[in-house]
Structure 1
């Protein structure tokens, strides 16, 4: 009777405290070298060449593809991170729009967002939209910002940033929200950066500890957004939006940060 009572108390504590284990399967597992969770809510750590995202390690079975992460924060979102045997990296990104809306995202809305993004005056000289997840009122946009031309650091350094930009529909037009979310920031040699294979998987973003197991699959890298394949701006968008300013008119690095 005492044992049963203790079990009930322990179970009640687990329920009140919230689920703290995130588990499931990831297939096919043969290509996978490393599996981790990214906690983007924690303060990022500045390092000489990157701003590091906090990683949580767990258990991974390379035969079955089963993974498990324990002692997580209840109800906190995590993004799955995977490194393949050939060095390719794939990480989850949460692209759920901030506002719910049953209306679909229109072609006009996409065009407005693209014209705004590609027409902006920015420190980075090679920028592209990688993915848009949206409804009729809210859009989450995954963007890549690259500085490949020389700046004060000199040499062959490149700055590479991955960010989430949020837009909202207001009175028939799409406006950018006041703050962007930085997902990745690196400063590294251009020849190293050119060899990177780094992809993003919206289906792996915003995962939470829960009793039910996740059933995840490696994305098709031929179509997944990321460093490769190259995603070019829609034809005419960049040129039309940039009309009236220099091709690579840039803001000073001291105003841009990295």
Structure 2
């Protein structure tokens, strides 16, 4: 008989997918000066939790200087996948002005056989419509999407990191993220050089609204991003490390 994991582990699987989409994204090579402002980046990450292989994440970004599209898939794998099947597929697109400005987001999550599809349509300033199938169950702490000014969906947030940037600009930023029901904020500090030669940026994931009251009392989630220098002057993400409170989650780039 298949053994279902504890509730904290099931919640962790969902958090893994969301965090991976929003954080685990590589900085691509800078385009030559004479080339058209186009980019296409694909990357895959192996995810380990507590030293055990737990999942895989793939991310792809395409842009033409005016518009962008990004897609990602996160699945459980290894020993974790043998006991618990979970998958999260998402797509987003929008305009570049010059940073990503989302227009549409769609995600399908299947966690242990519990499937849900979420779609977000964005207006000029904030989400204008959210659809969920099956519908979200009403909660006393739910928030109004229409007043979430300036938010990004998880994949558009990832696109801000995927896009080419000088090494000095790879990290310092603050991103407000809305997944259809909850609002969170990710902040990243400036890179520091490690003894290994890699650049490390420290960050924090803060719950802002739409979470259960007891989750709002939980500490912020600390994480770090490790980058490698590239000959082009850009940086390539190699590793994401997240302190989950139950152990370290590490996403290591495979290709």
TM-score by length of 1: 0.28
Higher relative contact order (CA 8 A, sep 6+): 1
Larger radius of gyration: 1
Q: Name the one with the larger strand percent.
A: 2
